[in-house]
Amino acid sequence: MNTLNELKCTFPARSENESFARTMVCAFAAQLDPTVEELADLRTAVSEAVTNCIVHAYRGSDAGTVTVTVRLLPDGVIYVRIADKGCGIADIPQAMTPLYSSAPAEERAGLGFTVMQSFTDRLTVTSKPDRGTTVTMRKKLTHGTDEAAGGRS
Amino acid sequence: MVELKQEPQKLTALLSGELDHHHAKEIREKIDFAVREQYPPVVVLDFGHVTFMDSSGIGLIMGRSRLMEEYGGTLEIHNPSQQIRKVLRISGADRLAVIRNHVHAAAANGKEPEHEYAE
């Protein structure tokens, strides 16, 4: 993977950091001059992934961290990796089923993965029970193509 | 954040800022407390000043929709931004409530909306 630029950040899995995390990713992606809609999609997808870490990964414990890695890849592709070291997901297909939530009491809609899938080009989820979960997302930002970058420089 | 406006037949929740998991709980508790005080026939969630919403907002809508079903009330969603409409659409939550655009909270009382959102 030919990484042109990278940002990595680890923070406590506290809900007040949800806003920080999605804003940070969007600030990094801004160097590609994305459209308002592309940036809104990315912001929403990142918010879902980080919220999953906070709501599910460390349930019952306030000591946990989330690591967000953002990479700028060739052809205007943004890669985001969101990883926790929490409880993991035993059944990934079930977790990704629209409207399924393991935390209905907290009024989670069960749509986090659906939003991530809809708002990015590619989503991968890897998980091991008691080891943690890693979500990666890729999204091509149309304003960030080589031609556009060449035209600006 | 949420500001509540109680009228005899209607409860309006004027939402503002970012509607994510961090903020949803407080908003939900405030709305539900007011709903259970008066069981209004209509509850309006006004998203006009919401700058961001993820699926936590869908959870909020689904939960209020269920609450209103318990006593036969109607849920309305007013003034969702383009980003919010997109989240509503993929979640199917746009079928749980009447969605209206360009409704001004002050002028909307007892009047028809300028037009209804349809897609």
* Smallest CA–CA distance from B58 into chain A, residue: A109
Burial of B115 by CB count in 10 Å (0-12 exposed, 13-18 middle, 19+ buried)? exposed
A18 has catalytic annotation: no
When the candidates are 3.40.50.970, 3.30.1330.30, 1.10.600.10, 3.30.565.10, the CATH number that belongs to A5-143 is: 3.30.565.10
> Taking CB atoms and an 8 Å limit, are A51 and B20 in contact across chains?
yes
For residue A115, give how far its alpha carbon lies from the nearest alpha carbon of chain B (Å).
7
Question: Can you give the pTM of this predicted structure?
Answer: 0.88
Encode pLDDT of B84-101 as tens digits: 999 999 888 878 888 888
Of B22, B52, B87, the CB nearest to A16: B22
Contact A14, A62 (CB under 8 A): yes
Q: How confident is the model at residue B118 (pLDDT cuts 50, 70, 90)?
A: very low
How do the domains of chain B map onto residue ranges? 2-116
Question: Under a CB-based contact definition with an 8 Å cutoff, are residues A80 and A136 in contact?
Answer: yes
Looking at CA atoms only, how far is residue B115 from chain A in angstroms?
Answer: 24
Note the Cα A82 to chain centre separation in Å: 5
Its ipTM equals 0.86
For chain A, the domains span: 5-143
**Sheet of strand B98-101, all strands in order from the earlier edge strand to the far edge:** B2-6, B10-19, B42-53, B74-78, B98-101, B115-116
> Considering chain A, what is the average pLDDT of its residues?
91
Q: Using an 8 Å CB-CB cutoff, list chain A residues near B20.
A: 15, 18-19, 47, 51
- Decide yes or no: CATH 3.20.20.140 for domain B2-116: no
Q: What is the pLDDT of residue B21?
A: 94
**A43 given a catalytic annotation:** no
Q: Are B76 and B98 in contact (CB under 8 A)?
A: yes
- Asked if pLDDT for residue A61 goes beyond 90, the answer is no
